[in-house]
Structure 1
Amino acid sequence: MSGLDTVMEAPGRKTAPAGPPTGRSRFALKPYALLWRREMTRLRHNPIRLAMGLVTPLLFLVVLGTGLDAASSNLGKAQLNDYRAFLFPGTLILSVQAPAIAVGISLVWDRRLGMLRQMLVSPFPRSSIVLGLALGGATTGAVYGLLLLSVGGIAGIRYTPMLLVVVLEMLLVSLMFTSVGLLAAVTIRQVETFQIVVNLSLMPLMFFSGAMFPPNGLPGWLDIVVKLNPLTYGVDAIRRTLPGPDILTSEQTRLLLGDWQPPVVVELGLMAAITAAALGLATYRFSRSQ
């Protein structure tokens, strides 16, 4: 055998085996895929939950929107040409928040049933578990939003390529809700307490977000609360992006901070910053879970 065919090894030194990559990248992505698929399986096998999750947004849009639109027209004091179109962005937010928050509830139940312990002893990084749950919840919420968006024609929404941007905005808002829900879930250990905290938080956030009424010209205290509510900027970004009646971008409905109207990019950046902060805190607290 020639010297070219002979491999000299130092004592105790191992040579790396030749062949394909070890698959570390696939292993790192596996928890994201598994947890995302778990949420999609829950969604697919529970059509009743999917249907019931759309009841409240549709009631807001069809009953409240049509009723107030007709009432204001009859009184001759209509300041919004179509209240259903104005209300539609808020109903989109309403449709994505419940399924996104449900991921936090499922995590609290996992702790009670012992499933969380199995996650903690898995070989996957704990940060990947949190991110996998967040992606699954955000996708579920976006599915609800897509279903409501498909009937947007009743509010005068036009079906144009611009709706793809709206879908991405819904996904970001859904991810924000999921991240905040996971942060609450890794902090609160009792299911009953978690549900009370979530219910007491979500309704004020919706009512003081400019989803039900224009965000300008409000009494002093209410104006301050609306402008401090981060959800206000998510509603405004979707309202200004939706292709539809002029009321969506009119002087009456635009959000003003003094004389300045925040660009949509800035509003989305605020949503992304809140999402990143909530995910970071949730990951930190989850990594310290026992």
Structure 2
Amino acid sequence: MKSMRVLMTMVYRELKRFIRSRARVLGSLLNPLIWLIFFGKGWAGAFNFPGAKMIFGGVDYMTYLVPGIVAMTVFNMGFMQGITLIWDRQFGFLKELLVAPASRVEAIIGRSIGGALMALIQGTIILALSFTLADLKLSGVVPTLLLAFLVGIAVSGMGMAIAMRMTSMEGFQIIVTMLMLPMTFLSGAFYPISTMPKWMQYLAKINPLTYAVDGARYYLAGINPTFSLAIDWGVLSLLAVIFVGIAAVEFRKATID
């Protein structure tokens, strides 16, 4: 019971801190909306010719793009969980947690779940707004959000594992930016994986975001998945366990500097 209180306390803290930061909430929502409106609408016009839908699985480009943007939103915000860990280290909260008679594993799992829920809230808002822009399936909302939650947990764990090795917020942001951009473009969020060069297709297959986009696109747009749904769910579930496990190991080894 005590360990569960630790977990729930960390989840509550992450959500409360996020909700209180209005600038962070607004900024995190504007970024995917900019991608949808300026990037999506612009390319939707470019792909408005006979036969274009065949490139994107039989749907228009906006319908093709939205599932990728939703997954990207959760992915990007999950990564930012590492910044909060560095912030806590600089302002002392992390030191208090390290000396507290509480399970470090439960604490890191709580932070992962809190980060995933924050990312999921934003992804849900973007998805709700996207129904005005694209022809999406309402029945696909719940499974898409469940996939997004798995991505959020996995990427939150990845972000925190990286942050535990970093000493500055600037260094973390540089590393994360170097990872986020190629992983986003390799995921198939903006164009089909089948149109990529062979070497890029191999990289796409080891990208966690690829499997989230693949499943979300099937549920929301009805496009046949590149992989099977079982593979999408299985890979994301496995990665969530692995990355949170790595973050927990790193956190258990942490010392008070």
Which structure has more relative contact order (CA 8 Å, sep 6+)? It is 2
Q: 1:70: which partner in 2?
A: 45
Q: 1:216: which partner in 2?
A: 194
- Choose which of 153, 159, 162 in structure 1 pairs with 2:138: 159
- Hey, what's the Cα distance between the residues in 2 that align with 1:29 and 1:268? 26
- Choose which of 113, 119, 124 in structure 1 pairs with 2:91: 113
The answer to whether residue 13 in structure 2 is matched with residue 48 in structure 1 is no
SS of the counterpart of 1:216? helix
- Hey, what's the Cα distance between the residues in 2 that align with 1:95 and 1:77? 29
1:114 corresponds to which letter in structure 2?
Answer: G
Q: How far does residue 77 in structure 1 lie from its aligned partner after superposition?
A: 5.7
- Whether contact under 8 Å (1:185, 1:194) holds in the other structure is yes
Q: 1:195: which partner in 2?
A: 173
Q: 1:249: which partner in 2?
A: 223
Closer, same or farther: CA 215–35 of 1 in aligned 2, 3 Å: same
- Hey, what's the Cα distance between the residues in 2 that align with 1:240 and 1:189? 41
Q: How far does residue 239 in structure 1 lie from its aligned partner after superposition?
A: 0.8
What are the Cα deviations for residues 43-84 of structure 1, in whole angstroms up to 9, with x where unaligned?
Answer: 2212232121111211222222221121222x5562444111
1:220 corresponds to which letter in structure 2?
Answer: K
1:70 corresponds to which letter in structure 2?
Answer: G
- Whether contact under 8 Å (1:179, 1:282) holds in the other structure is yes
1:288 corresponds to which letter in structure 2?
Answer: K
What are the Cα deviations for residues 105-150 of structure 1, in whole angstroms up to 9, with x where unaligned?
Answer: 1111211222211000111111111111111101100000110111
Q: How far does residue 155 in structure 1 lie from its aligned partner after superposition?
A: 1.3
- Whether contact under 8 Å (2:153, 2:244) holds in the other structure is no
Closer, same or farther: CA 98–220 of 1 in aligned 2, 3 Å: closer
Q: How far does residue 227 in structure 1 lie from its aligned partner after superposition?
A: 2.6
- Whether contact under 8 Å (2:75, 2:209) holds in the other structure is no
SS of the counterpart of 1:53? helix
The answer to whether residue 31 in structure 2 is matched with residue 31 in structure 1 is no
The answer to whether residue 125 in structure 2 is matched with residue 143 in structure 1 is no
1:276 corresponds to which letter in structure 2?
Answer: V
- Hey, what's the Cα distance between the residues in 1 that align with 2:206 and 2:6? 36
Q: 1:132: which partner in 2?
A: 110
Structure with greater proportional helix content: 2
Q: How far does residue 157 in structure 1 lie from its aligned partner after superposition?
A: 1.3
Q: 2:211: which partner in 1?
A: 233
Q: How far does residue 223 in structure 1 lie from its aligned partner after superposition?
A: 2.3
1:263 corresponds to which letter in structure 2?
Answer: S
Alignment length (residue pairs): 250
- Choose which of 239, 245, 248 in structure 2 pairs with 1:283: 248
1:280 corresponds to which letter in structure 2?
Answer: G
Q: 1:265: which partner in 2?
A: 230
1:267 corresponds to which letter in structure 2?
Answer: D
Q: How far does residue 189 in structure 1 lie from its aligned partner after superposition?
A: 2.2
Q: 1:101: which partner in 2?
A: 79
- Hey, what's the Cα distance between the residues in 2 that align with 1:64 and 1:208? 17
SS of the counterpart of 2:194? coil
Give structure 2 stretches of 5+ with no counterpart: none
1:159 corresponds to which letter in structure 2?
Answer: L
Query: TM-score, normalized by length of structure 2?
Result: 0.91
SS of the counterpart of 1:187? coil
- Whether contact under 8 Å (2:72, 2:209) holds in the other structure is no
Give structure 1 stretches of 5+ with no counterpart: 1-24, 256-261
Query: TM-score, normalized by length of structure 1?
Result: 0.81
Structure with bigger gyration radius = 1
SS of the counterpart of 1:285? helix
SS of the counterpart of 2:45? helix
- Whether contact under 8 Å (1:62, 1:84) holds in the other structure is no
Q: 1:172: which partner in 2?
A: 150
- Choose which of 22, 25, 33 in structure 2 pairs with 1:58: 33
